[in-house]
Amino acid sequence: MNYMLKDENAIYYECGYSCDNALYLSLGSEAYFITDSRYTLDANEHVKQAHIIINGDLYGEAVKLLKHAKIKKIVFDPKEWTVDGFERIRSKVKLEFKAVLDFSHKKRIIKSDEELKILAKAARLGAKAFKHLAKEFRKNGFGKDEYTLTHMAKGILSDFGQYELSFDPIVAINKNAAKPHAMPTETRLEKNDLLLVDAGLKYKRYCSDRTRTIQADKYLMFDTNQSYKRKKIQKAYDTVLKAHDNAIAKARSGMKAKQVDALTRDIITKAGFGEYYVHSTGHGVGLDIHEMPYISSKSDTVIEDGMVYTIEPGIYIPDAFGIRIEDMVAMVDGKAVVL
* Range 49-73 average pLDDT: 95
Flag whether pLDDT at 70 surpasses 90.
Answer: no
Q: How far apart are CA 260 and CA 257, in angstroms?
A: 5
239 near 226, Cβ under 8 Å? no
pLDDT of 273:
98
In terms of C-beta density within 10 A (0-12 exposed, 13-18 middle, 19 or more buried), how is residue 44 classed? Answer: exposed
Distances (CA, A) of 200 to 8, 29, 37, 39, 156: 19, 37, 33, 28, 11
Region 301-312 average pLDDT: 98
Given 3-state DSSP classes, what are the helix, strand and coil percentages for the chain, each rounded to the nearest 5? 40, 25, 35
Nearest to 62 by CA among 98, 97, 93: 93
Model pLDDT, residue 188: 98
In this predicted structure, what is the pLDDT of residue 304? 98
Q: How many CB atoms lie within 10 A of CB 29?
A: 5
- Nearest Cα to 224, choosing from 122, 328, 325, 321? 325
Average pLDDT, rounded, for the chain: 97
State phi, psi for 59 to the nearest 5 degrees: -70, -40
Q: Which residues of 321-339 are buried (b: 16+ CB within 10 A; e: fewer)?
A: bbbbbbbbbbbeeeebeeb
pLDDT > 90? residue 220: yes
Residue 26's closest CA among 40, 42, 10?
10
Rounded Cα distance, 74 and 137, in Å: 52
| Other residues' Cβ atoms within 10 Å of the Cβ of residue 93 | 16
pLDDT (0 to 100) of residue 158? 94
pLDDT, residue 256, reads: 98
Other beta carbons within 10 angstroms of residue 181's beta carbon come to: 10
Could you report the per-residue pLDDT of 146-185, keeping only the tens digit for each? 999 999 999 999 998 899 999 999 999 999 999 999 999 9
- Under the banding of pLDDT at 50, 70 and 90, the label for residue 5 is very high
pTM for the model stands at 0.94
pLDDT band at 18 (very low <50, low <70, confident <90, very high): very high
Q: State the pLDDT at residue 161.
A: 86
Average pLDDT over residues 18-24: 97
| Angstrom distance (rounded) from CA 36 to CA 280 | 41
pLDDT at 154: 97
Q: Which domains does the chain have, with CATH numbers?
A: 3-107 (3.40.350.10), 113-338 (3.90.230.10)
Nearest 10 degrees: CA dihedral of 294, 258, 107, 287?
Answer: 30
pLDDT above 90: residue 104: yes
pLDDT score at 88: 96
**Considering the chain, what percentage of its residues have pLDDT values greater than 90?**
99
Give residue-wise pLDDT tens across range 249-299.
999 999 999 999 999 999 999 999 999 999 999 999 999 999 999 999 999
Instruction: Count CA atoms within 13 Å of residue 56 on its CB side.
Output: 2
Range 32-47 average pLDDT:
98
Burial of 256: CB neighbours in 10 Å, binned 0-12, 13-18, 19+: middle
Which residues are within 8 A (CB) of 239 and not within 5 positions of it... i.e. 6 or more apart?
267, 268, 271, 273, 315
Instruction: For residue 215, give every residue at least 6 positions away whose Cβ sits within 8 Å of its Cβ, in sequence order, or none.
Output: 192, 193, 194, 195, 226, 227, 228, 229
- The predicted structure's pLDDT at residue 160: 86
Q: How large is the average pLDDT for residues 18-29? A: 96
The pLDDT of 97-106, averaged and rounded, is 97
Asked if pLDDT for residue 335 goes beyond 90, the answer is: yes
3-class DSSP state for residue 196? strand
